[in-house]
Structure 1
Amino acid sequence: MTVTINKGDSGSSGLPGEPGNVGYIGLEGPAGPPGDQGPKGASGTMEDVKTQRRPAFSAVQPKIKDNRLLFTQTITNEANVYDTSTGAFSCSEAGYYYFTFQVVSLGDLCLQIWVKKHGVSGKKLLSFCDRNIRNQPQVNSGGSVLNLDPGDQVWIEADAKFRKIAGADVSSIFSGFLLYPKDEKSA
């Protein structure tokens, strides 16, 4: 025999249960639509190329004094940045500078680019050496881009053992110039 029981009324709700375990992180959804464009920024100041300083020099006729090469005659010395009595370029404007030299040797020659930064004593940055067994004129050359600040100096020195430069009858040159000034925000 089959007994049928009628369903009774619902009882009152019980107390909430304990929270369950945290589930796994799902996949990232698609990117939303792009937001509205922000307001236009203020215009920057316009630089005038005509008023921008352009420090640059080229000097010839080297002689050696205490291993430093003094290029004694300037071809160009814009902003008076090269000193023939010390052989040093002195930075007056922060920026990125390019330096190059070509020096004729009559024997073994090692030349170095030296840099004095922030008043600290100079240090050898790069060295370029040529061996010259035949003692015939040959060119030793080198160059570099340097990040300089006002007061920094750059010069060329010869190694004490290998410093046979040719005389005034051949052309040797040391040059440098500002590629571009430092942005004030990145200085």
Structure 2
Amino acid sequence: MFTSNMCVIVIIASTIIGMVTSQGQAVAFSAGVSRDQTLLHAETIVYDKIFTNIGAAYNSSSGVFTCQTPGYYVFQFHTLARQDKSAWLELYKNTDYISTIFGHSSNDYGSAGNTAILLLATGDQVYVKAVDSSFGVNTDLYGQPDEVYTIFSGYLVHAVCKMIALFVACVTLGLVAGQGEVAFSAGLTHDQNILHAENVVFDKVFTNIGNGYDATTGIFTCPMAGTYTFQFHTLAHQDKSSWLNLYKNKVYIASIYGHTVNDFAGGSNSVVLPLASGDTVEIRAVDGSYGTDTNLYGQPDEIYTTFSGYRISS
């Protein structure tokens, strides 16, 4: 069994012979849906309007991103449902479910978005699928050539070596940070009713490079000074509310709120913050004494509430 010291030794040795880092390999794509779509089955969304496709890894015929440069990537997906309709979409890595977005508003349009940071090996595929209508909801996406709301984007944050199996195992476990890189992404896999100003503990960790995120407390502790970006998303239970705040060192920074009468409601936000080593960032529910309890919806196969962050510069 590999220990953290063994991983570090291998990574250091590989770096010396130029095997680990792959600098200068830009990979980024962004594409949108430019027409209405009604999806009845678990179909992959084909984003037909390409804004960017650096590295040519996104296929606009299939809607699938295929990794050609191993590393960790940020993926973001957003949608808008047609009036009085629903949009229910899931993000997949190969055949593995990652996270979900849902948008619906009675007599109106409903929007949603989410973010995930994932480690990919060469040949891994990432795509967005509609949830099958057998679960009770058709997906009706709104789109026009001059009104593009449903978008799928991704970009390489840090490339890693061809020794991906060993490197990914070490990095995913948070044992090495890989050339000073820091990134984490986690989601909530269960319902949570929060009455007081408590931290949200995102229990399913997708990525934890640098080991800064603690899945037992929900707190990210900065392991390396720099400028960081954070994204947080949520979905409230039907006819309930979700009211969350982001804090840096217990000091309030930003909020998200979601509530829709007789329906589910989402919220999203992002922020860029300078952090010193040891600074903390966390998501906390607003205390119920302000008039609203926070009721988060989550299941192992329905992850809407997520918290992600990564270091973008020193």
Structure 1-normalised TM-score?
0.65
The Cα of 1:50 is off from its aligned counterpart by 10
CA distance in 1, matches of 2:79, 2:60: 16
Aligned counterparts, 1:1-150, within 5 A: 44=16, 52-61=24-33, 63=37, 67-106=43-82, 107-116=85-94, 122-134=95-107, 136-150=108-122
C-alpha contact 1:96 1:178 (8 A) present in aligned 2: yes
Separation of aligned partners in 1, 2:24 and 2:139: 38
Structure 1 stretches of 4+ moved >3 Å: 41-47, 62-66
Bigger-Rg structure (1/2): 1
Q: What are the Cα deviations for residues 103-155 of structure 1, in whole angstroms up to 9, with x where unaligned?
A: 11112111100111xxxxx2322122223222x23322111001100000000
Percentage of pairs with the same residue: 23
| Partner-residue secondary structure (3-state), 2:47 | strand
2:30–2:153 contact (8 Å) kept in structure 1: yes
SS of equivalent to 1:186: helix
In the other structure, the counterpart of 2:199 is: none
Q: Kindly indicate whether residue 164 of structure 2 is the aligned counterpart of residue 186 of structure 1.
A: no
In 2, the alpha carbon distance for the partners of 1:129 and 1:51 equals 37
Q: Answer whether contact 1:104 1:170 (CA < 8 A) is retained.
A: no
Amino acid at match of 2:147: V
Name the SS of the counterpart of 1:70 in structure 2: coil
Report the Cα distance in structure 2 between the residues aligned to 1:50 and 1:85, rounded to whole angstroms.
29
| Residues 19-53 of structure 1, C-alpha deviations (whole Å, 9 max, x = no match) | xxxxxxxxxxxxxxxxxxxxxx9994789x99621
Name the aligned partner's letter for residue 46 of structure 2: L
Task: Give the length in aligned residue pairs.
Answer: 140
Residue 175 of structure 1 deviates from its aligned partner by 0.3
The CA distance in 2 between the partners of 1:186 and 1:74, in whole Å, is: 32
**Quick check: which one's helix share is greater?**
2
Matched residue, 2:131: 159
Cα offset for 1:182?
2.3
- Structure 2: runs of 5 or more not aligned: 1-11, 169-314
